[in-house]
Amino acid sequence: MPVRGIIRQATQPGFATSKNAPIFVDSDDNIAYLVPAGSGTGVVPFVLGLAGVTGSVVAAGSGALVSGTGTVATGLTTIKGITFTVNTPATGTYLTGATEVHSINIVSVTTGSVAIQGVFNSLATGAATVSVSGTASFRWVAVGTA
């Protein structure tokens, strides 16, 4: 099977058409860019092109859950999307729910703030269960407007 990838070069690899939006990694700054549309030559950072909102901002950070819940202050006025990555617990018994949070649920999103709760996979029931005592560190990335 052939290897597939995104081209890496200092300039865009072509122009946008109704069926093609070129994507490339700029070899000068190592940022992924795309040519979404319009004149067919406007280059935007890949994440901003996906957001589809003029003035989009990407924010990122890290945090920690305490007693299974937490709040992330993104610094954004509006949040178009946010993702979480839970850092793998260093020690402990997995699947107990006591300290091993494996994923994060979004409870609510307000202006610039996201309420979250930790989730573990219950060994007893096999179901995803909200953690009431678990702790975990996590990373987040959000796209929105400032």
**35 vs 142: which has the higher pLDDT:** 142
The total number of structural domains that make up the chain: 2
Check whether residue 108 and residue 128 sit in a common domain.
Answer: yes
Residue 138: inside a domain: yes
Positive/negative CA dihedral, 16, 22, 25, 28:
negative
Check whether residue 39 and residue 74 sit in a common domain.
Answer: no
pLDDT digits (tens, 9 = 90+) for 14-40: 777 777 777 777 777 667 777 776 555
Distance of alpha carbon 38 from its chain centroid, rounded?
A: 26
Whole-number pLDDT of residue 73: 92
Check whether residue 40 and residue 82 sit in a common domain.
Answer: no
Structural domain including 37 reads 7-51
Instruction: In whole angstroms, give the CA distance from residue 80 to residue 123.
Output: 34
Asked if residue 13 has pLDDT above 80, the reply is no
Q: Residue holding tokens 């996590």?
A: 138
Does the predicted model carry a pTM greater than 0.85? no
